Chains A and B, each alone.
Chain A
Amino acid sequence: MGSEALLFWVFGLVTVVASLLVIAQRNPVYSVLLLIASFAGLSGLYVLLDAPFTAVTQIVVYAGAILVLFLFVVMLLNAPHEDTEEDIARLKTINAATARLRSGPLLFGALLAIVFVVELLWALRRITSAGRFDPDAADAVSSVSAIGRVLFTEYQFAFEVTSVLIIVAMVGAVVLARREPAGKKS
């Protein structure tokens, strides 16, 4: 087993296990921290795929900005544990009332999951002959200057639209999270 294969398995295992723990944790603070670990593993996989720019962006933007924002909100709301006793009591009454309504969607979800797994297995059986990566193409995809050139020529319009999107999101977040002025509240 080459060192690249070993690194693939290590980073892949870190990513998958951390992601599983994210959805298994009861405390959202731990979930966010484990997601950072998962993204660190993904960043390693990007390096293996000759995409150093994406790997660094993954750490800086995702782990550095987005997940810190999540962590900030989790700590701000100070409601770390889901399913408090009060929640469970209320859910029990809701569950009793809607037990028959919920069995339908549950069945549908199970069916969807089975279809998904079967489709996945079928697709995997067909692409097992998919080729290895071409080592000569590594320089072409790992060059940051090539990414910049394509981003600012071919994708220039999309890039400019992105700035509008960011402004809209920023204003939207401020408007949504703002407290209503005392006199205006209806």
Chain B
Amino acid sequence: MPTLTHYLILSAVLFAIGTAGVFLRRNVITILLSIEIMLNAVNLTFVAFGRALGSVDGQIIVFFVMTVAAAEAAVGLAIVITLFRHRESLNPEAFTMLKW
């Protein structure tokens, strides 16, 4: 019988994978995908805690997180398209104009 601890460990592992992706990858789209992994790791925590506490609030928060993720993906991908049009590259190292 998997307990709350199992789900929390799984969620922590997924979050760590997402964090590693954000830091290690050199492609804007893959970085956005890693952020989606992190969001889903947190969603799993919400649902697991909601189940443990016998409340539907966890699932409702997940619903809102999904909405925010959809908005983030739309705006983020629009920015990626605009950046690609200017630089012909998806490498974040190519977009350092504002860096000192």
Which A residues are within 8 Å of any B CB, using their own CB? Answer: 2, 4-5, 8, 12, 15-16, 19-20, 22-23, 25, 28, 31-32, 35, 38-39, 42, 45-46, 48-51, 53-54, 57-58, 61-62, 65-67, 69-70, 73-74, 76-77, 79, 82-83, 87, 90-91, 94, 109, 116, 120, 124, 127-128, 130-134, 137, 140-141, 143, 146-147, 150-151, 155, 158, 162, 165-166, 168-170, 172-174, 176-177
Interchain CB contact under 8 A, A65 and B4: no
Q: Are B66 and A61 in contact, CB atoms less than 8 angstroms apart?
A: yes
**B-side contacts of A109, CB under 8 Å:** 23
Give bound CA distance, A90 to B44, whole Å.
Answer: 40
Chain B hits for A133, CB < 8 A? 3-4, 51-52
| A22 and B73 contacting across the interface, CB-CB below 8 Å | no
- State A173–B50 Cα separation when bound (angstroms): 33
State in angstroms the CA–CA spacing of A174 and B69 once bound together.
17
**A66 — nearest CB in chain B belongs to which residue?**
B73
22 example contacts (A-B, Cβ-Cβ < 8 A) are as follows: A2-B1, A23-B17, A23-B37, A28-B33, A46-B44, A51-B50, A51-B59, A54-B59, A66-B73, A77-B29, A82-B25, A82-B27, A91-B93, A109-B23, A124-B5, A132-B4, A134-B54, A140-B55, A141-B56, A162-B64, A169-B71, A177-B78
Q: Residue of A at shortest CB range from B96? A: A94
- CB-defined interface of B34-71 with A at 8 Å, one 1/0 digit per residue? 10110010011001101110111111101110111111
Main secondary structure of the interface of A (DSSP, over half): helix
Q: How many Å from the CB of A21 to the closest CB on chain B? A: 10
A23-B25, A53-B59 given; A169·B37 CB < 8 A: no
Interface string of B9-37 (1 = CB under 8 A from A): 11011101110110111110110111011
How many A-B residue pairs lie within 8 Å, measured between CB atoms? 211
A82 touches B26 (CB 8 A): yes
CB-defined contacts of A22 to chain B, threshold 8 Å: 17, 21, 30, 33-34, 37
How many angstroms between the C-alpha atoms of A61 and B60 in the bound complex? Answer: 14
* Cβ A35 vs Cβ B1 within 8 A: no
A27 to B56, CA, bound (A): 39
**Across the two chains, which residue of chain A brings its CB closest to B71?**
A169
Q: A35-B33, A141-B51 are in contact. Are A176 and B82 (CB under 8 A)?
A: yes
In Å, the complex CA distance between A82 and B7 comes to 34
Who on chain A is nearest to B84 by CB? A77
Most interface-central of A25, A35, A169 (chain B CB within 10 A) = A169
Query: Contacting B29 at CB < 8 Å: which of A74, A124, A143?
Result: A74
Task: Return the contact of B17 from the options A20, A70, A173 (Cβ within 8 A).
Answer: A20
Contact of A166 among B23, B70, B84 (CB under 8 A): B70
When the two chains form their complex, are residues B3 and A5 in contact, meaning their CB atoms are under 8 A apart?
no
